[in-house]
Structure 1
Amino acid sequence: MPNRGLWNCPSANSRPRRVPVLAVEDTSYRLSLQAHEKIDCTILLLEGNTPKLEDLKCIIYDWTPVFVSRPFALSSALHLKRLCVLGAPFPVDFGDQVHQLQFIDIRAAHHGRHSLADLVKCLTQGPSLTTSNLSIYGPSSIAQRHYLHTLNLGLSAANDPYLLFDRLFLPSIKHLDLMLRRCTTADWPHLASMLKRSCPPLTYLYLHGVPMT
């Protein structure tokens, strides 16, 4: 694959010059960045037009938790197939569109910027994804709703709420109505695990189409 828009910052003594605008007319290109400076590496992408970018690799040796100021929107690089960022938090806005990523590897030493919701988006919107390595940090992945006492959900098989129930903590739930249309699994243990975790004063439970053994 031809290299286009190659930009390196190889030593701590060198100062990065004005970031070049990334705009090419070739079929594809690759961007490789190595930086010792506390720079915002997303400027390379945000100040240019990168619709044909297919391969992006960033290695950041020195950084502070605030130097990455803006998320990288996948919508600005619709043909991106490989994304690798090592050493620094690199927030990615997965958006709502289907992406073409095949390989994503974002490993931050500390203070990762991705949540469990980001991971779900990455997986559900990437039909070509073969490798995913994301650092997930932040608050507990358990969604606590201490005051919720009534919950009614009716979903199709395409919207299986297992990810939600695996995270829910509902210690006050009294009325629970759950309907799963055309569920094809033989067992759905996520409700039982949520109830065991929450120990609620449940007085009404209605299940329709929820397989439980």
Structure 2
Amino acid sequence: MDLDATAFWIARSGLRPLSIGINLSRYRAYGPFLPQILGSIVSQSFRWKDIEMTIPVELESILLAPFAAGSLPHLANFTSTIPNPSSTTIHFLALHSAPRLQLLQSCAYHVHIDFRGRPHDIKSLRITDGGISLDDLVFCFTHCPLLSDLVVSVRSGPTTILPCEPSTTIELAYLRHVTLSLSTGADPGLLFDRLLLRALISLDLRMDVEGTADWPSLKSMLARSRPTLEVLMLDGVPIFETTLTECISYTPALTNLATTGVECTDTTLHALTLDESGTRGLCPLLERIDLENAEDCSPNVMIEMILSRRTRPESANITTRQRLKHLNFGLFELDNIRSNPHIAECEKDGMRLSNY
């Protein structure tokens, strides 16, 4: 790829909307003209439609500049990958400049999203690495009513735009998939206390919180929303075991449950144990259970829970029960249950038992 070829390609495209996919991760491989080549492409940002770029960190400001200072009337999909993004440069992504944008994916380290107070029709928003502020996350929830997919890293710091007492419910009727990674000091509790997410299918929540205080905001969101949640993954979320069991009591369609940092005992196992009639026990459709902190669970109670979730020919409730396929139990000593002949038969039949 060289400067003359880029100029020829741009001239030949006329005024048509541009779809561009380029991997420029190896700076030296393209010689000293790489900034000019990318500058030529950026000069046509008013024609961008679909952009997928992998660029070196030295050029991230050039690529993202049109969001801050330009018009992107045709842009529908934008994906940028920046290995080792800058930790000092602040990038302003003004989404009002791209009114047709449906997908935005960026791994720039420090991003500020500006909606100019207007709603936006974006459906998929993925901002990782250093990520956005907690206030920007709130703006995403309040300005993107059609959002269906959200993958965001949130920097440390409190939110300053929500009052302490929840008042107005924030409903996103189409939001199905959420992955949030929150740094120390970023507590989205005030936001979760008012979220209504009835369409939610998967929630992956990762927090870095000091202390052992119970975090009730997840429970309140699930109780309010009652979503048809299938995947719930909690890493470092500071909740007690009783809060966890109440959370999953609101998600009967769950097929995948994973917790890291939640101390689980026989209380959790009893809550997950099904009876023959299917009237007792939480989340009867679980296919995978990952409990990192389950070393204090009793082998007999663990065996009872597992066997209650394996379809048996004599079960009258066979049509409503899934086969438990995969279990991870952290430091729990698996030999204590593998000696049971019924568990051995389950493993022989394809069920997987493992430790982290």
Q: TM-score, normalised by structure 1?
A: 0.57
Matching residue of 2:100: 79
Corresponding letter in the other structure for 1:83: L
Q: Is 1:61 aligned to residue 83 of structure 2?
A: yes
Can you list the C-alpha shifts for 1:80-109, whole angstroms capped at 9, x where unaligned?
A: 11011136333322331111110111111x
The more displaced of 131-140 and 54-63 is 131-140
Task: Rate the CA distance shift 1:74–1:158 in 2: closer, same or farther, 3 A.
Answer: same
In structure 2, distance between residues paired with 1:45 and 1:58: 13
Secondary structure of the residue aligned to 2:99 is coil
Can you list the C-alpha shifts for 1:51-72, whole angstroms capped at 9, x where unaligned?
A: 11010000001332123x4411
In structure 2, distance between residues paired with 1:83 and 1:57: 6
Verify the 8 A CA contact 1:19 1:43 in the aligned structure 2: no
Q: Is 1:35 aligned to residue 75 of structure 2?
A: no
1:122, CA displacement in angstroms? Answer: 0.6
Matching residue of 2:24: 9
Aligned residues: 150
Greater share of residues in helix = 2
The more displaced of 92-101 and 54-63 is 92-101
In structure 1, distance between residues paired with 2:101 and 2:113: 13
1:44, CA displacement in angstroms? Answer: 4.1
Matching residue of 2:110: 89
1:31, CA displacement in angstroms? Answer: 1.2
Verify the 8 A CA contact 1:100 1:128 in the aligned structure 2: yes
Task: Rate the CA distance shift 1:104–1:165 in 2: closer, same or farther, 3 A.
Answer: closer
Verify the 8 A CA contact 1:98 1:125 in the aligned structure 2: yes
Verify the 8 A CA contact 1:75 1:97 in the aligned structure 2: yes
In structure 1, distance between residues paired with 2:160 and 2:70: 39
In structure 2, distance between residues paired with 1:6 and 1:165: 37
Q: 1:106 aligns with which of 122, 127, 130?
A: 127
In structure 1, distance between residues paired with 2:58 and 2:135: 28
Query: How large is the RMSD of aligned CA atoms in angstroms?
Result: 3.6
In structure 1, distance between residues paired with 2:69 and 2:169: 38
Matching residue of 2:143: 125
Task: In structure 1, list runs of 5 or more residues that go unmatched.
Answer: 144-150, 167-185, 188-213
Tell which structure's C-alpha radius of gyration is larger. 2
Corresponding letter in the other structure for 1:101: I
Secondary structure of the residue aligned to 2:138 is helix
Structure of higher RCO (CA pairs closer than 8 Å, 6+ residues apart) = 1
Secondary structure of the residue aligned to 1:91 is strand
In structure 2, distance between residues paired with 1:122 and 1:60: 22
Task: Rate the CA distance shift 1:49–1:157 in 2: closer, same or farther, 3 A.
Answer: closer
Q: TM-score, normalised by structure 2?
A: 0.36
Verify the 8 A CA contact 2:127 2:151 in the aligned structure 1: yes
Secondary structure of the residue aligned to 1:123 is helix
Task: In structure 2, list runs of 5 or more residues that go unmatched.
Answer: 1-16, 171-188, 194-222, 225-356
Q: Counterparts of 1:58-207 in structure 2 under 5 Å?
A: 58-67=80-89, 69-86=90-107, 88-108=109-129, 111-112=130-131, 114-140=132-158, 163=190
Matching residue of 1:182: none
Verify the 8 A CA contact 2:88 2:110 in the aligned structure 1: no
In structure 2, distance between residues paired with 1:164 and 1:105: 19
Task: Rate the CA distance shift 1:165–1:82 in 2: closer, same or farther, 3 A.
Answer: closer
1:45, CA displacement in angstroms? Answer: 3.6
Q: Identity of paired residues, percent?
A: 23
